[in-house]
Amino acid sequence: MTALNLVSLFLLAVMVPGAFAQGGLASCCRKISHTQVHRDLLTNYYVQRPPSCPLHVVVFITLQEKRICADPDKLWTKTSKAYLDGKRCHRQKLDKPRKHTVGHELQ
């Protein structure tokens, strides 16, 4: 086997599992969108990075299950991520079971 074939085989073996882990290469963002929607229309986000996908972007999911591939360095992207993180943190606090303490009666 030539060195070129060996390198090609190695690259394929490294990239394929990562691509499938994120839903395959077809689900990767191929370009950055300049679309900005109101943050109340966003439900979640995840970060897409090479080598699994060609671009480093933040992928926002909207209420209508659409994906917006945003530039991670833009202010809108950063504030939208912070908003969703805060919303997630608040939701986790509400879902956390509360401990009830029994007070001592005054005598």
Domains of the chain, residue spans: 29-94
* Burial class for 61, CB neighbours closer than 10 Å (0-12, 13-18, 19+): middle
Verdict on whether the full-model pTM lies above 0.75? no
How far is residue 18's CA from residue 89's CA, in Å, rounded to a whole number? 28
Q: What is the pLDDT of residue 104?
A: 52
How far is residue 29's CA from residue 58's CA, in Å, rounded to a whole number? 9
3-state secondary structure of 10: helix
Lowest mean pLDDT among 7-21, 37-51, 66-80: 7-21
> Encoding tokens for residue 14?
């490294």
Q: What type of residue sits at position 83?
A: Y
pLDDT band of residue 1 (cuts 50, 70, 90) is low
| CATH entry 2.60.120.330 includes domain 29-94 | no
3 or 50, greater pLDDT: 50
How far is residue 17's CA from residue 24's CA, in Å, rounded to a whole number? 9
> pLDDT tens for residues 16-32?
554 444 445 568 999 99
Q: What is the pLDDT of residue 91?
A: 73
Q: What is the pLDDT of residue 96?
A: 66
> pLDDT tens for residues 54-107?
999 999 999 999 999 999 999 999 999 999 999 888 777 777 666 655 555 454
> Encoding tokens for residue 90?
């608040």
